[in-house]
Structure 1
Amino acid sequence: MATILTTASAAIPAGVGAVVPVLQASGITKSYRRGIWPRRHTQLILASADLTLYPGEVVGLTGENGSGKSTLMKILVGAVGADQGTVARTGRLGYCPQEPLVYARLTCDEHFDLFGHAYAMTHQAMVQSRQAIYEELGFARYADTRADQLSGGTLSKLNLGLALLADPDLLLLDEPYAGFDWDTYQKFWGLVAQRRDVGRTVLIISHFVVDEDRFDRIVAIRNGKTAPR
């Protein structure tokens, strides 16, 4: 099983003047059992994959369908266990999964309140952050709307907003702009640029990268391994 260390001072040595990564994943291996007996077999998804993220950078993670992008991200956040490898990270983490994980009967406001409690935010800090997210992504009019009554695009905004709520040091986004219109897509990249400017780190999964100039670097997964693109 992979070891995940949330305080990485011991796991990520830093020399004098060295830039300490906010996340370092090493030797991540993951396989799944597929099929039914007697044709059941083991499918290797990740084969000793490595990934290091530094403060103030925007990194793209690409690969074909089924290459292991989402699996790797779930391992990085601790949602899925790896068969082998280690993950060390520092600071507060924000995660935007590909499929929104929301409660159908809760409104947008109630989601932010719930996640604010989970992040141990003060009520005032939560309200201020929530209002900024509403304004930046343009969905304040849906504050009292239940999640099961939101359109796909607005649900994606809520999904992203919950990841942004606590101003995380490291933001992990799995296809975050699915369902966004062009205006919201541009606002999204504005938010990403703001986070980079203040030293935050963003990892974005995409099947393909159409805005390569917006990334500091791009990492591709091929045959279960990570490599610079």
Structure 2
Amino acid sequence: MEVTGVHHAYRRRVVLRGVNLRLGAGVIAGIVGENGAGKSTLLKILAGELRPGRGTVRHQGRFGYCPQQVVLNDALTIRQHLEFFRAAFRLADIRLAQEMMDVLGFAEYAHERVGVLSGGTRQKLNLTLALMHDPQVLLLDEPYQGFDWDTYQRFWDLAAGLRDAGRSVLVVSHLAYDIERLDELWRLADGVLHGQETAAA
């Protein structure tokens, strides 16, 4: 993914002032910043959900997007969500989604309505929906909200596996947790990205 000169403003409030970013294959990268710095706005632009004021975003291959607000229907079961997204992604089956459910530890809830699930389980489903079509680029906005410690560790193991398979993972958070797991780290401040050192780098 390559991002060049991305600007965005909400009326007179300028949020992004020329963001440049290159995300290569086989990388786990992070973007951190204060609340209100524009992280979610940037991720929406990268995912194509929001059009930038100016600038360009180029993707190669499939991408997955896990927004901070879960994209779920409380009246449907987990299985119904998977089938709905299978049709949307034009997948032959939900095999990969079932593997993700096993990895994240919520397969036993497949026939439960989403409305009765805990926040952590809803977030696991949100992440699974972003991964079930095997994207080359994965964009994650605060992806581990509501996870317990075991699931949090499984998340990072999953991210490492994606990197080892040549995928690109971009995690956006307001805090720089576990930066030793990251290959690249940027801080979003004053509308631009600033490179930071990481233990992995």
Residue number in structure 2 paired with 1:49: 19
Task: Say if 2:146 is the partner of 1:179.
Answer: yes
Residue number in structure 2 paired with 1:164: 131
Q: Could you tell me how far 1:135 is from its partner in structure 2?
A: 0.6
Give the superposed CA RMSD.
0.7
Aligned counterparts of 2:113 and 2:20: Cα–Cα separation in 1: 40
Residue number in structure 1 paired with 2:6: 28
Q: Could you tell me how far 1:210 is from its partner in structure 2?
A: 2.1
Gaps of 5+ in 1: 1-22, 34-41
What secondary structure sits across from 2:84 in the alignment? Answer: helix
Larger Rg: 1
Contact 2:97 2:131 in 1 (8 A): no
TM-score by length of 1: 0.84
Aligned counterparts of 1:149 and 1:79: Cα–Cα separation in 2: 28
- Which amino acid in structure 1 is aligned with residue 27 of structure 2? E
TM-score by length of 2: 0.96
Task: Say if 2:188 is the partner of 1:188.
Answer: no
Aligned counterparts of 1:226 and 1:133: Cα–Cα separation in 2: 32
What secondary structure sits across from 2:177 in the alignment? Answer: coil
Aligned counterparts of 1:213 and 1:158: Cα–Cα separation in 2: 26
Aligned counterparts of 2:8 and 2:177: Cα–Cα separation in 1: 29
Q: 1:204 aligns with which of 168, 171, 174?
A: 171
Aligned counterparts of 1:210 and 1:190: Cα–Cα separation in 2: 15
Gaps of 5+ in 2: 197-201
Q: Could you tell me how far 1:209 is from its partner in structure 2?
A: 1.0
Aligned length: 196
Residue number in structure 2 paired with 1:102: 72
Q: Could you tell me how far 1:118 is from its partner in structure 2?
A: 1.0
Q: Could you tell me how far 1:72 is from its partner in structure 2?
A: 0.4
